[in-house]
Amino acid sequence: MLPRLRCLAVLLALSTAAAASAQDTVRVPAPPPAESLQVQVPDVSLVDQHGRTVRLWSDLVRGQVVAINFVFTRCKTICAPMTATLARVRKELGPNAPVRFISITLDVAHDTPGKLARFAEPFSPGPRWSFLTGEPEQVKQALVALGGYTPDKEAHRPLVLVGNATAGRWLRVDGLGSASSILDALREVRAASAPPPELEDATAARDASAARYFTNTELIDQHGKPHRFYEDLIRGRKVLINFAFTSCKGVCSPMTKHLAEVQRKLGARVGQDITMITLSVDPANDTPESLARFARKFSTGPGWYFLTGARENVALVLKKLGGYTEDPAAHSSVLLIGDAATGTWVKAPAMSAADNLVYAVEHLDDPR
């Protein structure tokens, strides 16, 4: 008798469901809304899938709209589907979209750059998608700061962190939801830094004028990495620029030591919204390697770029900045302090009291 009752119950349930479906539209629950949060991205040194060392904040996130997820190559559950969703987002945006994608491993002990490259290959990541590993403590610091850390990688949540590092707008999205939900979050954070309509034309005009003046001439830093002078190093930041050369027997070493004290006083802002630049006046002899040795003598930190390059490139930029000289020993010891966002620039002796230089940077845009 009991089996018959069970069959009857099942039939009644099915007939009830069928009746309901005939009368009502089935409603699929909406995905959870994007969660807004505060994020402080650390400038840790990591390694991408090509074996290149990159700094998380200054090389990948600063000034960018980003989508970040957390994966590992031996994952048998959510990692591949979540990464495939991000790949659909990237395809939908198009190859030239101003969005950077970042995937950080949860399995540092196993995930080498080569393994991350093989994991990434089926998703056709392109040049604006970095798969990152590195030293365990550096990776953990990044994961903790971004909300991706878990002691058990097998239990990690399918989160995508979407952010606008310029506006400080961050959202956390379900990485197993639809690509459209991630696209909506990207549009929302991008809109956070859009200027009011009445300022948009003026802002664009000022930026275009600054780009023409400073130029995007390619220079090379002390790590051998090329940079476009305006777009990569100046745009949207406060900047300190001085002139030196590594074989200098005069002011260069004392000046660099003094500016290292300024960097320490400015703290973590250098490498975030403040950039320091030392431009060689002797590019014929100053190689990236010699500049790196020079910088190490003074314990300079991230966010300070010692630049050289092709003679004609360096000469062009030096002339724009008023630092060009035929005789390196006769170079200027002036420090240029500017805010590229507002177009405010001042000069100061580079050996001015460190506290005075810090004050000048921090109060550059104060009303006069």
Same domain, 140 and 44: yes
Give me the domain span that covers residue 120.
Answer: 35-191
Same domain, 49 and 139: yes
Residue 319 within a domain: yes
Is the pLDDT score of 28 beyond 70? no
**Mean pLDDT within 228-237:** 90
Give the per-residue pLDDT at 195. Answer: 56
Give the per-residue pLDDT at 36. Answer: 67
Residue 26 within a domain: no
**Mean pLDDT within 225-249:** 93
**Mean pLDDT within 35-60:** 89
Chosen domain end from 163, 191, 219: 191
Is the pLDDT score of 127 beyond 90? no
Q: Could you tell me the pLDDT band of residue 64, with boundaries at 50, 70 and 90?
A: confident
Provide the CATH number for the domain around residue 125: 3.40.30.10
Residue 23 within a domain: no
d(CA 140, CA 39): 15
225 is written with which tokens? Answer: 């990495």
Q: In whole angstroms, how far apart are CA 328 and each of 51, 112, 222, 243, 325?
A: 37, 44, 19, 9, 6
Same domain, 156 and 225: no
**Mean pLDDT within 244-271:** 94
Is the pLDDT score of 226 beyond 50? yes
Same domain, 187 and 249: no
Residue 44 within a domain: yes
Give the per-residue pLDDT at 95. Answer: 73
Could you please report the per-residue DSSP string of 206-221? HHHHHHHHH---EEE-
Burial of 129 (0-12, 13-18, 19+ CB in 10 A): buried
Q: Could you tell me the pLDDT band of residue 202, with boundaries at 50, 70 and 90?
A: low
Residue 7 counted as an annotated binding residue: no
List, for residues 74-110, the tens digit of each pLDDT value.
999 999 999 999 999 999 998 778 899 999 999 999 9
**How many residues in total does the chain contain?**
368
Residue 75 counted as an annotated binding residue: no
Same domain, 222 and 182: no
Chosen domain end from 155, 171, 191: 191
Same domain, 208 and 66: no
Give the per-residue pLDDT at 15. Answer: 37
Same domain, 244 and 121: no
Same domain, 208 and 324: yes
Same domain, 162 and 290: no
- Kindly report the average pLDDT of the chain as a whole number: 86
Percent of the chain with pLDDT over 70: 87
Is the pLDDT score of 219 beyond 70? yes
Same domain, 183 and 256: no
Is the pLDDT score of 368 beyond 60? no
Same domain, 285 and 154: no
Q: Could you tell me the pLDDT band of residue 31, with boundaries at 50, 70 and 90?
A: very low
List, for residues 147-201, the tens digit of each pLDDT value.
999 999 999 999 999 999 888 899 999 998 889 999 999 999 988 866 555 555 6
Residue 27 within a domain: no
Same domain, 249 and 152: no
- The single residue listed with the structure tokens 């392109």 is 126
Q: What's the structural domain count of the chain?
A: 2
Chosen domain end from 191, 226, 261: 191
Q: Are 349 and 335 in contact (CB under 8 A)?
A: yes
Residue 246: what are its φ and ψ, rounded to 5°? -75, -25
Residue 55 within a domain: yes
d(CA 345, CA 358): 14
Residue 265: what are its φ and ψ, rounded to 5°? -70, -35
